[in-house]
Structure 1
Amino acid sequence: MSVITTDVTAPADVPAPAAPGRARLRFLRGGKTRTGLLILAFFAVLAVAGPWLAPYDPDAMSDDLLQAPSAAHWFGTTHTGQDVLSQILVGTRGVLVVGFLAGFLATVLSVLIGVTSGFLGGAADEALSMLSNIFLVIPGLPLIIIIASFVEDTTDLLIAAVIALTSWAWGSRILRAQTLSLRRRDYVEAARATGESTWRIILFEIMPNLTAVIASGFVGTVIFAILSEITLAFIGVADISHWNWGTVLFWAQSNQALAQGAWWWFVPAGLCIALLGTALTLINFGIDEFVNPRLRSSAGGSRKVRMRVGFTPVARTGTPGKPSKEQSE
């Protein structure tokens, strides 16, 4: 009686599973994430150094009225001779400060309320869920318009605070749902059985698994805050004496720049808004792909996966359907 032997050794070139650190590096090296971070870094540099890089005072008037882009004024001038490039550079700081400050405050509120609600459950969950539902139905822009009508000096800090207070509820609901699915996992139950405190379990067991969701919510809130602030400035609700990209568009629209053919007055600000929104969106896409491997579009990686899944062991000797000489013996 002979024994049939089969070689089931996997190919030597099959790579080992990537470590968590390498996965993070792969996320940072992704084309979408890298492009978004580079564009965002460019605008961050402009926000910090914009007032020093501006060739002119953005409020200074001159005799060069409504001039097209030239060597003296790269982005042209307004109807009063103000330099558009200087207005764009100086206004970048206000846009990023309001966007990221509102995103940070809204993310902190959504994490505190959403994670606490989902993990504690019971009466605390009911109360915090009701609070989230109330803020979900509060419209952000009309509330800011009402507040601005009663406040003489509508600062960036006030606008960021109002945007944050009216935009944290969506993130809170998402984090609550994720926490509900995590709080009964084995590692959480093990930590609870060893006597870990509630807040330690939340910080060291629950929060690390919510990092990608929190980051994605933060980026989405920043996009919403930036667009809200520009919209408020464009419609004249915010302080129009404080320069940002929405203020540039407000003065261009008020003085009929499009009808006068002064495209250089509003196109640069519009392109900056589009580029910044694209950068943040690319970063958000990169976070989604990092969280959900199904969204990764690497064709080479997909082929490798198919090759591994389709591998089947074959006999070292003989052909399918025909016994070898060793088998017949």
Structure 2
Amino acid sequence: MTTSIANTASSLPGETLADPVTGKTPDGGTGLPPAVSVRQSNRSLLHGLLTNKKAMTGAAILVVFIALALLAPVLYPDNPSKITGMASQEPDAEYWLGTTAKGQDVLALTIHGSRSSLFVGLTVGFASTFIGILVGLASAYFGKFIDEALSLTTNVFLLLPGLPLLVILAAFLPPGLGTVILVLVVTGWAGSARVLRSQALSIRSKDFVAAAVVTGERPLRIMFGEILPNMASIVMGTLLACIIYGIGAQAGLEFLGLGDVSTVSWGNNLYWAGNEGALLTGSWWVFVPSGVCIALVAFSLALINYAVDEVTNPRLRKIRKPKSDRPKPTQPVPTGKRVAA
């Protein structure tokens, strides 16, 4: 009787009392307001990523490439396309990654190429995720005619073949970095919108969203203040996947010659390596660095994406027993020799 009175006095208005033993409420929750539970889940997500080896490894690789991209004008202030050495010179002490068939420094082209590739990848990733958030939240919240119209538009973009659409748009539009970003955003937002809509639909039916609607909250306040914070993990995973798509798709378009070949990027480095016959002449140092950089950046983002899934998904989380609970190995009892009397 005393315990129930104390619990009633310490509870806040609008909260559900939790069981003192299990810590759970009758509906399976924690008894905390939605805003508090969201903040705690976001803190646990951040703490889990900071203590996850995969996330830290991926973040370290990504930080190295971002630092190289930012310091490229300091490391190589001259034009990276400038002819500085002999043609097709193998890697040595002067040219760490050798030279191209024109005599350009491959290391300078690789470092300066990271600026364009990372910029396009990050821009396409954030833009595609932002459009996906808008379409997914609006479709899940409003429903009815708006949901049908947005779902139809999303399905049309999903059914269109990606590579042919990329080639057609890039061929008819004027070449340039803005054209590449526009083409990749137009063809890349539908997948993120479909994923975010399905997640928003499950949150839309929660009690705290219905309570916000009853209290007269504005639709934008509900979508971005109540629903979106509960989708932090899926939004982060979608963002990382869109960045990987942006970097890889840009390299593919430029390798086919559909980008601006006058700019320096990893895709254009591969394009010029193919045109100059680097593979036929055995000049592996011309095309390997750009390909390895694309693979490493995609690998780092995939590590972070997998770490997000590992932290938020209990099935992927490794449960380790404390050392005190682990069984101790049994040691054989030493047997002494009998001495004759």
Identify the TM-score tier after normalising by the shorter chain: 0.7 to 0.9
Question: TM-score scaled by structure 1?
Answer: 0.82
* CA distance in 2: counterparts of 1:214 and 1:63, whole angstroms: 47
Query: Distance in 1 between the 2:279 and 2:218 partners?
Result: 62
Aligned to 2:36: none
Q: 1:180 to 1:77 in 2, by over 3 A?
A: same
Aligned equivalent of 2:34 = none
Instruction: Name which of structure 1's ranges 73-82 and 187-196 shifts more when overlaid on structure 2.
Output: 187-196
Q: How does 1:1-329 map to 2 (within 5 A)?
A: 20=41, 21-54=43-76, 57-152=79-174, 154-297=175-318, 299-300=319-320, 303=321
Deviation at 1:136, TM superposition (A): 1.1
**Deviation digits for residues 168-204 of structure 1, max 9, x if unmatched?**
1111111111121111211112222222222211122
Question: Higher RCO, 1 or 2 (CA under 8 Å, sep at least 6)?
Answer: 1
On the 8 A contact 1:104/1:218 being kept in 2, the answer is yes
Residues 19 and 125 of structure 1, relative CA distance in 2, 3 Å threshold = closer
Give the percent of matched residue pairs that are identical in Structure 1 and Structure 2: 40
- Partners of 2:97 and 2:65 lie apart in 1 by 17
Contact preservation (8 Å) 1:140, 1:163:
no
Q: Is the 8 A contact 2:85 2:99 kept in 1?
A: no
Change (3 A) 1:84 1:186: same
**Contact 2:209 2:226 (C-alpha < 8 Å) held by counterparts:** yes
What residue number does 1:5 align with?
A: none
Once residues 59 and 24 of structure 1 are traced to their aligned partners in structure 2, the CA distance between those partners, rounded to angstroms, is 42
User: Alignment length, in residue pairs?
Assistant: 287
Q: For residues 62 and 197 of structure 1, do their structure 2 counterparts lie closer, same or farther at Cα, with a shift above 3 Å needed? A: closer
1:38-92 CA deviation, whole Å, 9 max, x = no partner?
Answer: 1111111112121321275322124512111111111000112110001001110
Deviation at 1:155, TM superposition (A): 1.6
**Matched letter for residue 131 of structure 2:** L
Q: Tell me which moved more, 191-200 or 93-102.
A: 191-200
User: Cα 1:23–1:159, aligned 2, differ >3 Å: closer, same or farther?
Assistant: closer
Structure 1 stretch displaced more, 72-81 or 288-297: 288-297
- In structure 2, the CA distance between the partners of 1:63 and 1:197, relative to structure 1 (3 Å rule), is closer
Cα distance change of structure 1 residues 63 and 216 upon mapping to structure 2, 3 Å threshold: closer
Would you say the 8 A contact 2:132–2:193 is kept in 1? yes
Deviations 1:154-177 (A, max 9, x none): 222221121111111111111111
Runs of 4+ in 1 over 6 A off after TM superposition: none
DSSP 3-state at the match of 1:295: coil
Return the alpha-carbon distance in structure 2 between the equivalents of residues 26 and 63 of structure 1. 49
Long gaps (5+) in structure 2: 1-20, 23-38, 326-341
Q: How far apart are residue 146 of structure 1 and its match?
A: 2.3
Deviation at 1:150?
2.9
Confirm or deny: 8 A CA contact 1:103 1:221 kept in the other structure. yes
* Aligned Cα root-mean-square deviation (Å): 2.2
Classify the secondary structure of the residue corresponding to 1:205.
helix
Contact 1:55 1:86 in 2 (8 A): no
Distance 1:103 1:138 in 2: 20
CA 1:23–1:284 in 2, change beyond 3 Å: closer, same or farther?
A: closer
SS of aligned partner of 1:166 = helix
CA distance in 1, matches of 2:137, 2:125: 17
Deviates more, 1:287-296 or 1:67-76: 287-296
Give the TM-score normalised by structure 2: 0.79
Amino acid at match of 2:208: Y
Measured in 2, the distance between the counterparts of 1:105 and 1:23 equals 23
- Distance in 2 between the 1:201 and 1:34 partners? 34
Q: Which 5+ residue runs of structure 1 have no aligned equivalent?
A: 1-8, 11-17, 308-329
